[in-house]
Amino acid sequence: MKILFLEPFFGGSHRDFALGFSQHSSHDVDLVTLPARYWKWRMQGAALYFIQKIKDLSRYDLIFTTDMMDLSDFIALAPGDLPPIVMYFHENQLSYPLGPHGKKDFSLGFTNIFSALATEAVFFNSNYHCRAFLRAAKHQIRQMPDFKPDWIMDSLEKKTRVLYPGCRFNAMPFAIEKRTLDLPLIIWNHRWDYDKNPEEFFKVLKDLKKKGIGFYLALMGEQLDLIPKVFTKALEYFSKEILVSGYIESPREYKSWLAKGSVVVSTSIQENFGISIVEAVRQGCFPLLPKRLSYPEIMPEKFHGEIIYKTMADLQKKLETILKDPDRFFSLCQELSGYAGRFSWEVMAKQYDKILEKIK
């Protein structure tokens, strides 16, 4: 098959996904992108760019696009007959939590709904995300004052399915190495933003530091133009514990820091899959994750008692236990690393290819 892959927001996990699929798919994939900035403008205007950029859509067997564009505009304005189109939802504007000063924009939610209705198939990166989207779409439709299109939900439900994203590591089994630092290293490899709930993370670390629990800290992950104040304060308060700070561009260096980590922690209030967690687990970090979002479904259920925390007090207790004796969790980290291998693009691309070949 010849596939046209349109990515309106080519950055972060969107970029990794597009490159991972195009590099590992057995099909011939043409990747056309826009830079990862001005996301609201991308949703409204990306279709106009792609229509002008790609002169002959008829030579493709399938168009694969992601959620940050208005697909109904693209279909309406594109010349000639179009091949089947599918859309992958990394996130959606219906269920995404608002920032501290954010206001609900119903038009963006309807853009997601219309785009999903216009496709042959809609893919979500987790069962959690799929359910959240359908629930929020139903709620938004019910907000309409009259002439509510209740038929939409049945149509959406029939075309949605879950396809986990691939991750940028090898699928082959390997033995993780014992950590060599004199203190356990805590990994934060999430975006420096409000939806990752850094306030709660640093509060737990402050309490542990006050108790005299020793640790190192790696603050990685993408940074925005405006860094939240909680990070500025943390950089000062944990200056003796921090070994590395800021986004690491080199995959090799990033991987090397993960391989030094004893534990990776998430306190997120928004996460539709959790690539950063899976990457850390693959390199031997023990995960501590909240009992919400997509986390319970991407980790083996038999280990939920050790991995999943229910409250912040529970997180602090579990983290303190690991920091006091990280070697105790080594064999479990090895097993979890092997489990994470199933999310490698080498494995996932085969699933994508098989599903896409059936779309007519």
Q: Which residue has the tokens 């304005």?
A: 77
pLDDT tens readout for residues 112-131: 999 999 999 999 999 999 99
The pLDDT mean for the chain works out to: 95
pLDDT value of residue 102: 66
Q: What is the CATH number of the domain that holds 277?
A: 3.40.50.2000
140 and 106 together in one domain:
yes
149 and 66 together in one domain:
yes
Cβ atoms of residues 300 and 339 within 8 Å:
yes
Residue 350: CB atoms within 10 Å: 14
139 and 245 together in one domain:
no
76 and 41 together in one domain:
yes
pLDDT tens readout for residues 216-245: 999 998 887 778 899 999 999 999 999 999
114 and 191 together in one domain:
no
333 and 350 together in one domain:
no
Query: Is residue 253, in this structure, part of any structural domain at all?
Result: yes
Over range 93-99, report the average pLDDT.
82
- pTM score: 0.94
Q: How confident is the model at residue 96 (pLDDT cuts 50, 70, 90)?
A: confident
Distances (CA, A) of 185 to 134, 154, 218, 243: 39, 48, 7, 9
Q: How confident is the model at residue 101 (pLDDT cuts 50, 70, 90)?
A: low
190 and 216 together in one domain:
yes
pLDDT tens readout for residues 264-274: 999 999 999 99
Find the domain containing 24 and state its range.
2-166+344-357
48 and 154 together in one domain:
yes
Percent of the chain at pLDDT > 70 equals 99
63 and 200 together in one domain:
no
Strands 185-188 and 85-89, bridge-based pairing: unpaired
49 and 159 together in one domain:
yes
CA–CA separation, 39 and 41 (whole Å): 5
Query: Is residue 180, in this structure, part of any structural domain at all?
Result: no
Total number of domains in the chain: 2
Q: Please, is 90 exposed, middle or buried when counting C-beta atoms within 10 Å of its C-beta (0-12, 13-18, 19+)?
A: buried
